[in-house]
Amino acid sequence: MNGRSTEVFQIEKHPNPVEAEKRETLLQNPGFGRVFTDHMATIQYSEGRGWYDAKICPRAPFSFDPATLVLHYAQEIFEGMKAYRLPDGGATLFRPDANARRFRNSADRLAMPLLPENLFVDSVRELVRIDKEWIPSTDGSALYLRPFMVATEAVLGMKPSPEYLYCVVATPVGAYFKGSAPAVTIWVSDQFTRAAPGGTGDAKCGGNYAASLAAQAEAIREGCEQVVFLDAVERRWVEELGGMNVFFVFADGSLQTPPLTGTILPGITRASLITLARDLGFVVREEPYAIDQWEADAKSGRLVEAFACGTAAVVTSIGRVKGRKHEFTIGDGGAGQVTGRLRTALLDIQNGRAPDHHGWLDRLF
Ligand code: PLP
Ligand code: COI
């Protein structure tokens, strides 16, 4: 059951949208999450009324009472997805139903109301349609969509809020990782963990990211682009990066990725790559992989590639791994061949250059 809603979005167009010339300049080099479109989608929720007041309106700041619950206890969840430009000038979403389902799972874990799947998908569709001129068409870029929900009751009692605000904003994006290196270097955190069994690791809540920032800052200080977390119990099993899942590619042509045991985010890119890799004839295992084994396999040549994957990062080779107890290079430290094949296979579907055999695209216009 996903509780279909019949709520219809009211459209309020921006009276002064960004001028076309300025928008085109911004779209040339948008970076990641710095430039925003003209509109946003919002829906209100209250315990008595349910979901109401769905609208697309000019993007504008919110005004919150200082006692608003989300500001104190971080009752917040979010999603990340993209709209892609198609060769004929149209545009598509990629598996928005999967994001809608994950949003509901995250809400459930954070004791928040479950947004009906159709309202989630419609909010994103309507926003992209009204801001369609903001979808970049340069290779490797897309319109990143950020649905999120916050607890809005103004009271300091430690309890689930009876009121919420759901919102979607959109930002044209290029590559997530700055720089032109063919592969990233990652830092093994031995001091911090990301999620423990029974925690919120498989929910996409802001708190997980706040808790990962000290480890990510350490990674940057150590000259790495991202942090990789080990499991919280044995401090041994590779879980995921701060904002991406991880895959390993072996010399025998097989692939492996950590299993979804509740402490890692079930990535939609991860799920799609498992399917695509199997379509291409690769054996894919969802099995735990120990950090010491990773180092030994990289050094012996049994492991030939590793990559990070996610909506923001797409598919990015990992060339080197560093940590207080670890230092190794994977393959020749550059972009992996299998990694490149999978990246191309995924991007070709998302950009409409290859057939969509799995029905993953949700064409907008
Ligand atoms: N893991 C974490 C912690 C993330 O933040 C993300 C990004 O959303 C992912 C994995 C990849 O998920 P997806 O492929 O659905 O973007
Ligand atoms: C995404 O890939 O959508 C994320 O939310 C990850 C974040 C690091 C931007």
Write down the pLDDT at residue 179. Answer: 77
312 lines ligand 2 (CB under 6 A): yes
pTM for the whole structure: 0.97
Torsion of CA 180, 183, 187, 193, to 10 degrees: 110
Q: Which fold has domain 184-350?
A: D-amino Acid Aminotransferase; Chain A, domain 2 (3.20.10)
- Strand segments (E) across the chain: 10-11, 39-46, 50-58, 76-78, 81-85, 91-94, 142-151, 163-173, 184-188, 226-230, 238-241, 245-250, 255-257, 284-286, 303-310, 314-322, 327-329, 361-363
- Atom 10 of ligand 1, residue of closest alpha carbon: 244
Ligand 1 pocket check: which of 76, 77, 311, 316 to mutate, most ligand atoms within 8 Å of Cβ? 311
Write down the pLDDT at residue 7. Answer: 87
Gap from CA of 267 to ligand 1 centroid (Å): 5
Name the nearest CA neighbour of 92 among 169, 145, 28, 32.
145
Q: Which fold has domain 5-174?
A: D-amino Acid Aminotransferase; Chain A, domain 1 (3.30.470)
* Ranges of each domain in the chain: 5-174, 184-350
Question: Which DSSP letter does residue 19 get?
Answer: P
List the chain pLDDT tens, one digit each, 365 residues. 467 888 899 999 999 999 999 999 999 999 999 999 999 999 999 999 999 999 999 999 999 999 999 999 999 999 999 999 999 999 999 999 999 999 999 999 999 999 999 999 999 999 999 999 999 998 889 999 999 999 999 999 999 999 999 999 999 999 898 877 899 999 999 999 999 999 999 999 999 999 999 999 999 999 999 999 999 999 999 999 999 999 999 999 999 999 999 999 999 999 999 999 999 999 999 999 999 999 999 999 999 999 999 999 999 999 999 999 999 999 999 999 999 999 999 999 999 999 999 999 999 99
User: Does the fold of domain 184-350 match that of domain 5-174?
Assistant: no
Ligand 2 pocket check: which of 79, 173, 176 to mutate, most ligand atoms within 8 Å of Cβ? 176
Name the nearest CA neighbour of 57 among 119, 21, 12.
12
Write down the pLDDT at residue 4. Answer: 87
Write down the pLDDT at residue 175. Answer: 87
Gap from CA of 268 to ligand 1 centroid (Å): 7
